[in-house]
Structure 1
Amino acid sequence: MKKNCFIPTSILLTTCCLAAMTVFTGCKDSNGKDSETGILRPIAENITGKWNMEESHRKQDGKWVEDPIPDGEGHTYTLRTDGTALSAFTAPDGYTKLNLGEWKVDEATGKLTLGTMIVDVLSLDATSLVMGHDEARDSETGEIMEGEFRWTFARMDENQKTLAEQLVGKWILSKSYEKKGGEWVENSNGLPDEGWHLYRADATFTAYSRSGEHEFTSDTNWVVNCTTGEVRWTAENGQSSTADVTIESDGTLSVYYSNSFDPVTGQSVAGEYKDVMVRAQE
């Protein structure tokens, strides 16, 4: 059975055991790279930025063998200068989940802390990063495996953001539309006096609306399929709902759905609906 030994959804959340690592104190070349370890130093100054996982390997019978990354699966890290780390994991089903944690480096041992997980920095240059660890999670079974594992990341443009990353923030409800006769027609029926959505980088979500003195707040978790634009919100009790979203060229967020609540009848009405939301000023 094909296994992918690195499960980014839990790397910021799961506590793992660590293998001992020899401390190297080799000389640096003119570019600041340790001649013995192949690591740019100081690590903390050279590791910030956005990294995309390119390869996964594990040691088998004393040799490194590739663990092919399943089709559709992907993982990026953004290590920010403020000490926070944003992890974006895309599962084979196409849904991307974000995680937010902290990162730090022990320069003496070459260990990188990501949330509650610690990995060894095996190689670092201007364009690539190799991490090593003695535990990994099987992507199919969720089983924790012990051994020797390493993962190669390539540096990428920090401005290149997925739909998941673009959604993070607060969005204010501006207008609502219903499709009639093939055309979008503005519909203010049932529109609240105030409404907003808040997508957080830790995968939590809050929806708020107020009509007169009546307020409604809903807290869920969220993931989004960055290819199809489908967002899935899941409550603590396991119930979920979906809608399609698009960030338009003018920066507004369109939310498409097929059922609307009629405040007059108290019933849900099937149709084609769209809410337009604008990003709140920070």
Structure 2
Amino acid sequence: MNMKETIRTMSTLLLMTVAMVIFACTFTACSDDEMNDNTDETLFLRPLTKNLFGIWKQTNNYMLQDGKWIEDPIPEMYVNDLVFCPGGIYYHNVRREDGKTYMFESTWSADETADTLKVNGEGIRLGGLTENEFIVLDTTATDHATGEVLKGEFKWVYTRVNQPTKTAYTQLLGRWQLQKRFQEQDGQWVEVTQDMPDYCAREYDMRGSCALYTLTGDKFETKRYSGCVGEIAKWGEPADILSQWDICSQARVEIRLCFEDENTVHIYHPDNYDSEAEKMVPGGHKDVFVRMK
């Protein structure tokens, strides 16, 4: 072998060696990245408490079958929103498959070591938390169709959203002022002013509570309700149902309401609805409330 061939052979070996080194380094780097993708710091944004603040909507359900996560579709009507607030306050926005909707308040805290949440005293195991998604793991679930409690491995995925899902109850959030009152006469709604208070307002909050404020002359009254449950209209009727617990009388009462638009709601008094026949009847009266800015 002459000098030129020796140099050519050494150059070829050197290039092959460099290529192998580059390949090995690249492979090693990829392996390191894959390992990093599985570290707690990647799967869980820290601190959990700060990164959970906000509104989350349940978007996917999965159940473990034969070692694989199989999607269990969420029913179309079902809504499950979680609202985590500073100070350990938590709100739950729910719409069940039967159309009933409600919100309630609870407490929450996060355990950074165990990667768990405690909501209203109940432990919840987390499977991950990123900027726009967090995962809840559990060994029991409820069948939406039958109500049966199922055993197994389940995973629920929540996605960050800007506001709670609109339901028959969330549309009522805020304060509403009585604007007009109508009496039905010969099939027509006729405005009446008799027995109208000087001021009347309803205020609904994220705890599922309602306060009714009334001022007549120099007499100011406040009536409070809790456990408000909204229900979308059935039987083709124009009005939704709102059921609420009268704290004073310790009785559950129902009212019928219909949204004219986002800022106007018609509330029908009991004499305008036949609960046994499950339909609206003539001769009743209704109040029109407008949203206060």
TM-score where L is the length of structure 1? 0.68
8 Å contact from structure 2 (residues 257, 265) kept in 1 = no
Partner of 2:227: 221
Partner of 1:19: none
Shift of 1:241: 2.3
Name the SS of the counterpart of 1:259 in structure 2: helix
8 Å contact from structure 2 (residues 54, 84) kept in 1 = yes
Unaligned runs of 5+ in 1: 1-26, 261-268
Q: Which has the higher helix share?
A: 2
Q: Which structure is higher in RCO with an 8 Å CA cutoff and minimum separation 6?
A: 1
Partner of 1:174: 179
Name the SS of the counterpart of 1:108 in structure 2: coil
* Distance (whole Å) between structure 2 residues aligned to residue 136 and residue 92 of structure 1: 16
Shift of 1:150: 1.4
* Distance (whole Å) between structure 2 residues aligned to residue 166 and residue 82 of structure 1: 25
* Distance (whole Å) between structure 2 residues aligned to residue 214 and residue 84 of structure 1: 31
Matched, 1:243 2:264: no
Partner of 1:48: 53
Q: Per-residue CA shift, 1:80-106, capped at 9, x if unaligned?
A: 234311111111122211121122211
The correspondence for 2:243, drawn from 215, 226, 233, is: 233
* Distance (whole Å) between structure 2 residues aligned to residue 239 and residue 159 of structure 1: 26
Alignment coverage as a number of residue pairs: 244
Name the SS of the counterpart of 2:50 in structure 1: helix
* Distance (whole Å) between structure 2 residues aligned to residue 114 and residue 229 of structure 1: 35
Q: What are the residue-to-residue correspondences of 1:1-282 with 2, within 5 Å?
A: 34=39, 38-158=43-163, 161-178=166-183, 184-207=189-212, 209=214, 217=223, 219=225, 221-225=227-231, 230-235=240-245, 240-246=253-259, 248-249=261-262, 251-257=263-269, 259=271, 270-271=282-283, 273-278=285-290
1:160–1:133: structure 2 CA closer, same or farther, 3 Å change rule? Answer: closer
Unaligned runs of 5+ in 2: 1-31, 273-280
Report the residue type matching 2:227 in the other structure.
Answer: N
8 Å contact from structure 1 (residues 259, 271) kept in 2 = yes
8 Å contact from structure 2 (residues 255, 268) kept in 1 = no
Identity %: 27
1:244–1:220: structure 2 CA closer, same or farther, 3 Å change rule? Answer: same
1:67–1:182: structure 2 CA closer, same or farther, 3 Å change rule? Answer: same
TM-score where L is the length of structure 2? 0.66
Max radius of gyration: which structure?
A: 2
8 Å contact from structure 1 (residues 230, 245) kept in 2 = yes
Name the SS of the counterpart of 1:51 in structure 2: strand
